[in-house]
Structure 1
Amino acid sequence: MDGISTKPSVNGLARGLVDGFAADAVELRARVYEGPLGCRLVDAGATVRGGIEAGRRLAEICMGGLGQVAIVPSVTTPRWPTAIRVGAADPVIACLGSQYAGWSLSDGDWFALGSGPARAIYAKEHIYEDIGYSDRADTAALVLETAAPPPEAVVRTVAESTGVAPTALTFLYAPTQSLAGSTQVVARVLEVALHKVHALGFPMGRVVDGVGVAPLAPPSPDFVTAMGRTNDAIIYGGFVHLFVEGPDDEARDLAHKLPSSGSRDYGSPFAQVFSRFGGDFYAIDSMLFSPAAVVVSSLESGMSHRAGAIAEGLLDASFG
């Protein structure tokens, strides 16, 4: 692809973050150990306590070193006053080229979606053609939302698919039910917005910058409840501000189509929606996966367009 060499290497940028996480494992209440084929495994919340700071740093690794993730006070959800703020130096590459959980990996009963910079070396998802990006590196990291480490067959698949030696691979993992897992999932608020922008057919090259905020979802020991809360934090509590190029009317149209309230399945806590569809994630309207409220600012006209609203009552129903 033209121009790829001029774009940042998400694996190169993330390497220091990954090594720093491993070095700080004791303070982060994480565990680092050798896995199959000599890969490095980092447990951030499965058999260890982990925590919010571990999740915040996992999120920055997911964004390939291009993202800034901070724990901040929430001004939109006073009953849930702790929020996660996400920004990125290059939001399209950070969020869609790295953070998006798009690499499906499985072996027997083990399954997880891989997110993070190693995806960009594999780059077999169609979205990489659309954003014009891929990466090359001799080390790579993959973040997995799971309670179990990847088995040998999965490590081998990732190594062969990326051309990175197993001993140069790091897998970081934490279940959704953990504090770290919940934090890193909610930190996808900007990524979720950009994924919907892509689904709506808006040219990704015209997305210049963006910031997202969502309330920190309290975890639950029950997987469906925990998964529902992380989704609700974005669907009913997330706010995203995008800065785009192009005609003002197209920025206005994007703003009106972007919020989650435009989905047929909007209006119930996500765990209830999930149960209504018999646990079939893919039967749920994909337009539901979007922030509750947005502002889209046109750099061409200088005008900003607002749509959607925070639904704090639905957050209360979800968060407990």
Structure 2
Amino acid sequence: MLPLNLNARAAKIVETMRAGADERRIAAHEIDGGGLFIDCGIKSQGGLQAGLDLARVCLGGLADVSIVMGEAAGRATPVVQIWTDHPVHACLASQYAGWALSEGKFFAMGSGPMRAVRAGEPIFETIGCRELSDTIVGVLETRKAPPPEIVAKIAKECGVEPYNVTLLAAPTASLAGGLQIVARSIETALHKLAELRFDLSRVVSAQGSAPMPPVARDDLAAIGRTNDAILYGARVILHVTGDDESLQSVGPGVPSSASRDFGEPFAAIFARYNNDFYAVDPHLFSPAEVVFQNIQTGRTQVFGAPKPEIVAQSFWG
């Protein structure tokens, strides 16, 4: 059981979003059979504030997310920054898009604190935590409104009533949807560490940043740009404890450069594998640069480096 009330924290963010729906350019809809759907970029236009809120909901209210002006390859671009003192709970128990949801022609990847209540993914065996909550909040990456059947499925697997389910959604090719995906810099580093069997309890705080791409013409193109923002543009600092030798051992395998598929825009990689995510080398999905700052020994170790020329090719080429 999680002591940090991820769903309750996310619900408070949702309340603020609903109260300021017009300024965020979002819309809330009741779902037949129970449940609430908040459109952040499907039929509603959504905006940057909606994207920030969407990212914070994904993180269960346990991380700060902001946008600053930065640059990539000498060109001005927004940069999405994130920091958290609870990286494992915020990023792996909540933010990670690990729940594939399908019903008929509907498909979406599910994120957010509802995952911590279901706790049905292998990652929960690694991080060893679960939350109990009567109400749940989730985020869907999709271009379609969730049908009642999906709400019923989510409610059943989480052990709650459908009317206690709140789902927020935005497509990848939207301001809000793109922003919340690019806010996953820390999450990708932690997930890679989990795959490498690193003791995640050693990661006590984390910071990350990634350039936010222009909204693409369609979701497939947006998938390429948002992945490139992380793979070739993201930089993550992990504040850790323990010995330095193990960090030196695991470090080279953490950044995206450890993958055999590293080195060209994701759209080209994806096309080479016939748009099959599962065929892409899983070691690719991590930040360009990962920094370990050992708060016990005072030593800093850096692995990987951004590739701004690939970011530029992806964003503006």
> 1:216, CA displacement in angstroms?
0.8
304-313 vs 245-254, which deviates more? 245-254
Q: Residues 61-210 of structure 1 correspond to what in structure 2 (within 5 A)?
A: 61-74=57-70, 78-210=74-206
What is the aligned partner in structure 1 of residue 246 from structure 2? Answer: 250
Letter in 2 for 1:171: L
Are the counterparts in 2 of residues 45 and 179 from structure 1 also a CA contact under 8 Å?
yes
What is the aligned partner in structure 1 of residue 52 from structure 2? Answer: 56
Tell me the percent identity: 44
Are the counterparts in 2 of residues 251 and 297 from structure 1 also a CA contact under 8 Å?
no
What is the aligned partner in structure 2 of residue 23 from structure 1? Answer: 19
Residue 87 to residue 77, structure 1, CA distance change in 2 (3 Å) = farther
What is the aligned partner in structure 2 of residue 319 from structure 1? Answer: 315
> 1:77, CA displacement in angstroms?
5.4
Which of 26, 29, 32 matches 2:28? Answer: 32
Letter in 1 for 2:31: G
C-alpha distance in 2, partners of 1:89/1:165? 32
> 1:300, CA displacement in angstroms?
2.9
Which of 7, 12, 29 matches 2:8? Answer: 12
229-238 vs 241-250, which deviates more? 241-250
Counterpart of 1:38 in 2: which secondary structure?
Answer: coil
Letter in 2 for 1:200: L
C-alpha distance in 1, partners of 2:52/2:85? 17
Are the counterparts in 2 of residues 121 and 134 from structure 1 also a CA contact under 8 Å?
yes
Are the counterparts in 2 of residues 248 and 300 from structure 1 also a CA contact under 8 Å?
no
Counterpart of 1:46 in 2: which secondary structure?
Answer: coil
C-alpha distance in 2, partners of 1:285/1:311? 19
Counterpart of 1:233 in 2: which secondary structure?
Answer: helix
Which of 260, 284, 287 matches 1:291? Answer: 287
RMSD over aligned CA atoms reads 1.3
1:240 aligns with 2:236: yes
What is the aligned partner in structure 1 of residue 277 from structure 2? Answer: 281
What is the aligned partner in structure 1 of residue 217 from structure 2? Answer: 221
Counterpart of 1:249 in 2: which secondary structure?
Answer: helix
C-alpha distance in 1, partners of 2:104/2:262? 34
Counterpart of 2:22 in 1: which secondary structure?
Answer: coil
How many residues align? The count is 316
> 1:252, CA displacement in angstroms?
2.1
Counterpart of 1:297 in 2: which secondary structure?
Answer: strand
* CA deviations over 1:243-299 (Å, ceiling 9, x no partner): 112211112223322111111001110011000001111110111111111211122
C-alpha distance in 2, partners of 1:109/1:127? 27
* CA deviations over 1:84-104 (Å, ceiling 9, x no partner): 001113000000000001111
Unaligned runs of 5+ in 1: none
Counterpart of 2:275 in 1: which secondary structure?
Answer: coil
What is the aligned partner in structure 2 of residue 44 from structure 1? Answer: 40
> 1:73, CA displacement in angstroms?
2.7
248-257 vs 17-26, which deviates more? 248-257
Unaligned runs of 5+ in 2: none
Counterpart of 1:246 in 2: which secondary structure?
Answer: coil
